[in-house]
Amino acid sequence: MGIILDTSVLIAGERRGESVQAIVQRVQSTCGEQHAALSVVSLVELTHGIYRAKSDADRTRRQAFTTELRRDMVVHPVTVEIAELAGRVEGEQGARGVSIAFEDLLIGATALWLGYQVATANLRHFQMIPDLSVVQL
């Protein structure tokens, strides 16, 4: 089993000045020793944050953190199968009047497809994805 780290967990760790290794160790101390990975969607969100930085120092720190993530962690792409799963979940939930943020939908679908859990600081959207195992950090 494995765990996909949601962007909220990564941003919180980066703001605390933690290394990627420290974030993974903290997650594993809570969730048990399992493979930690990312969805490529988190890289989109983190890169967005780089270009929204209010100072050069913040931009440089965020870029270094994102580079460290890409170097040290497995990053899962959105495959055709994951896209179809996300579309099914979004369609089924939408028919019930439930709306899930697109980024969280893709991260959650990635975890579901892989049989992984999601570690997040933001439970709300992930709890709306049926059969997804979610751990709050």
The confidence score (pLDDT) of residue 126 equals 95
If you search the block for the tokens 């020793």, which residue do you land on?
33
Question: Cβ–Cβ contacts within 10 Å for residue 128, how many?
Answer: 19
Tens place of pLDDT per residue across the chain (137 aa): 899 999 999 999 999 999 999 999 999 998 888 999 999 999 999 999 999 999 999 999 999 999 999 999 999 999 999 999 999 999 999 999 999 999 999 999 999 999 999 999 989 889 999 999 999 98
What is the domain count for the chain?
Answer: 1
| Assigned domain for 134 exists | no
Instruction: Identify the domain containing residue 59 by its residue range.
Output: 2-129
| Assigned domain for 107 exists | yes
The confidence score (pLDDT) of residue 125 equals 86
